[in-house]
Amino acid sequence: MKMLNKKGQVVSNLQGFVMAIVTIGVILAIGLYVLQEMQYATTSDGTSAGTATVASNATGDIIDKLGNTPTWIGLLIVVVFASAILAYFYFRQ
Give every CB contact of residue 84 below 8 A, 6+ residues apart in sequence.
10, 13, 14
Give every CB contact of residue 54 below 8 A, 6+ residues apart in sequence.
none
Q: Give per-residue pLDDT as tens, 19-70.
A: 888 888 889 889 888 888 877 777 665 555 556 677 778 888 888 888 887 7
User: Would you list the domain boundaries of the chain?
Assistant: 8-90
Rg value, the chain, Cα: 21
Q: Give per-residue pLDDT as tens, 66-86.
A: 888 778 888 888 888 888 888
Q: Is the pTM of this model over 0.85?
A: no
